[in-house]
A and B are shown apart, each in its own frame.
Chain A
Amino acid sequence: MVDKKKISLNVNGVTYDREIEPRTLLSDFIRHHLDLTGTHVGCEHGICGSCTILMDGLPVRSCLTFALQAEGKAIETVESLDTNGELSPLQNAFWENQGLQCGFCTPGILMSMKAFLKHNPKPNRDEIREALSGNLCRCTGYHDIVDSVVAAAEAAISSGTAKA
C-alpha cells in the first residue's frame, strides 16, 4: 500500500487541499475529488480530447497527467468559462450555432478552442478544422462546430475584445 500524498492544487483560481494516491490522474482528481464534472473522460489514452483542460494557459490532456504533476500550476476547466451563469462569447457561439448535440465532447473542445483562438484570433475554416483534429465528436459531423468557432472569432473581433 502506497501512502497518500498531500496535494494543493489551483483550479479555476481556487486552491484545493486534498490527500490522494499518487496514481490519481488529474482528470479523476478534478471529477472525483473536486466534483467538477464538466471535464469529461472518454478514452483515457490521449486520443479523444474530451478531458482537455488548460494548464498555465496551455491545453493538455488531463487523463495523461498525474494530479501531483500539476502542483504549482494554474488549472482551468470548462467551469471557469462563464461569469455567474452568463455564457462566455465562445460558449454562446456554440449555443447559437448548434455546436453540440449530446455535449460529451464539448468541454474539451471549448478548452482547446479557447487556447487556439487566443493564439490565432482570425482563423480560416481549414485552420479551425486542423485545430479541432485533436478532439473527437461522435455526434455533429463537425460542420456546426466549425461554424461555432467561426462565430466566436467574429464575435470577439466585432466586440473589440480578443477574449473568447
Chain B
Amino acid sequence: MKPANFEYFRATSLDHACELLRAHGDDAKILAGGQSLIAAMNYRLARPQFLIDISNIDSPSEITDESDGVRIKATTTQAIAEHDPVVRRRLPVLANALEHIAHFQIRNKGTVGGSIVNADPASELPAMSLLLDAEFEIQSASDKQVMAAEDFFITYMTTALQSDEVLISILFKAPPENSGWGLHEVARRAGDFALVGSAAIIALDDGGKCSFARVVLFGVASTPVRATEVEDALLGQSCSDALFAEAAKKVSEVVDAESDVHVTDEYRGNVAEVLTVRALADALSRAQAAS
C-alpha cells in the first residue's frame, strides 16, 4: 500500500464535485481516471487529504456534434473519444493523437479532461487543444467561465484552473473545410510519453496557395507551443518540400527544451524541425486529397 491516506468522496455529477471542492478547500483534489494522479500518489509526490472521485458520475462520457466543432465532456475516457464516430469524422487529428496516449488499458480509464488539467508538456491533448482552438468550460460552486486553450497552460503541469474549479467540457473546433492534418512524434517505446511531437493543419485556396496554417509542438518547452513564425512563413505561399524545410527552421523560435535523462536539448531541437517537416507534408497531401 503506497499512497498516503485520504478521505474519499464519490461525486454524482460535476455540479456535486464543485460543491464538494468548495466544502473541502485547498486540500481536496479531483480524481478522474487516476492514471496520472494515482501514479503520483503511489510515489507520494501527491498527498491530497480529500479525493473527489468524478469517474463514477452519471453519464461520464458524452460527445456532442456542434456546429463549430465537437464538445467532449471532461470525464469522457480517452478510449471512448478515440473510437467515437463523430470525433473520427470531424477531428481525425484528435483521434490519431488519442491513439498515441499510453496503452489501451490506460486509455480505458484516463480521461480527456484529466490529461488537459494534468498539463504534462509532453502529452498530446494539451497540444491538440492549441491546434484545434479549444474552449474550456470551467465551473466552481459560485462561478462559470469559458477559457481559450491559449490562456490555460501556464507552465510545466500548471494551468490557470483554480483549486475550487472543475473542467466541465472541452469544445475542440473543427479545422477549416478542405484542410489536411499531420501528426508525428518520437518516443522511446510504443506508449511512452513523446520526447518531441509536432502537429500541423494546412488548408489551400483555389489557386493552391496556403490559406491556413497551424503548427503546434509538444515536449519542447514547459507548455505545448504554437509555432506562429512557421505558420507565417507558409501563409500565401505555394506549398513544396523546399518551403516546408525552410519554414520548419523557425521552430527554433519556440523550442525551449533542456537536456534531460532521455536526450539533449540539441536533439530535441533537431527532431522538432524534422517532425514539423513531416507533419506539414502529411497535412499537405491530406489537404490536396480533400480539395
Footprint of B on A, CB under 8 Å?
Answer: 1-2, 5, 21-25, 28, 44-46, 49, 52, 55, 58-61, 63-66, 68-69, 71-72, 112, 116, 130-131, 133-134
Interface window among B38-46, B67-75, B134-142: B38-46
From the candidates B43, B56, B102, B108, name the one contacting A58 in the complex (CB within 8 A). Answer: B108
From the candidates A44, A71, A133, A134, name the one contacting B2 in the complex (CB within 8 A). Answer: A44
CB distance from A78 to the nearest CB of B (A): 15
Bound-state Cα–Cα, A5 to B6, Å:
11
CB distance from B261 to the nearest CB of A (A): 16
CB distance from B45 to the nearest CB of A (A): 11
Q: Check if A46 sits within 8 Å of B8, measured CB to CB.
A: no
Q: Check if B56 sits within 8 Å of A60, measured CB to CB.
A: no
Q: Check if B35 sits within 8 Å of A46, measured CB to CB.
A: yes
Q: Check if A66 sits within 8 Å of B38, measured CB to CB.
A: yes
Q: Check if B106 sits within 8 Å of A46, measured CB to CB.
A: yes
Interface of A is mostly: mixed
Q: Check if A2 sits within 8 Å of B105, measured CB to CB.
A: no
Q: Check if B5 sits within 8 Å of A21, measured CB to CB.
A: yes
Q: Check if B5 sits within 8 Å of A69, measured CB to CB.
A: no
Q: Closest residue to A56 on the B side, CB-wise?
A: B108
Residues of A within 8 A of B43 (CB): 45
Known: A25-B1, A49-B103. A5 touches B8 (CB 8 A): yes
Quick check: is B267 within 8 A (CB to CB) of the other chain?
A: no
Q: Check if A45 sits within 8 Å of B191, measured CB to CB.
A: no
Taking CB atoms and an 8 Å cut-off, the chain B residues in 77-136 that contact chain A are 79, 102-106, 108-109
Q: Check if B106 sits within 8 Å of A134, measured CB to CB.
A: yes
Q: Check if B190 sits within 8 Å of A112, measured CB to CB.
A: no
Q: Check if B104 sits within 8 Å of A131, measured CB to CB.
A: yes
From the candidates B34, B105, B108, name the one contacting A69 in the complex (CB within 8 A). Answer: B34
Known: A45-B39, A68-B53, A69-B56. A130 touches B105 (CB 8 A): no
Residues of A within 8 A of B56 (CB): 69, 71-72
Known: A46-B39, A69-B55, A133-B191. A61 touches B5 (CB 8 A): no
Residues of A within 8 A of B104 (CB): 59, 116, 131, 134
Max chain A C-beta neighbours (<10 A), residue from B8, B102, B191: B8
Q: Which 4 A-B pairs have the closest CB atoms?
A: A134-B103, A22-B8, A133-B190, A2-B5
Quick check: is B4 within 8 A (CB to CB) of the other chain?
A: yes
Quick check: is B236 within 8 A (CB to CB) of the other chain?
A: no
Q: What are 10 inter-chain pairs, A to B, with CB distance below 8 A?
A: A2-B6, A25-B3, A44-B42, A46-B106, A58-B79, A58-B108, A64-B42, A68-B53, A71-B56, A134-B104
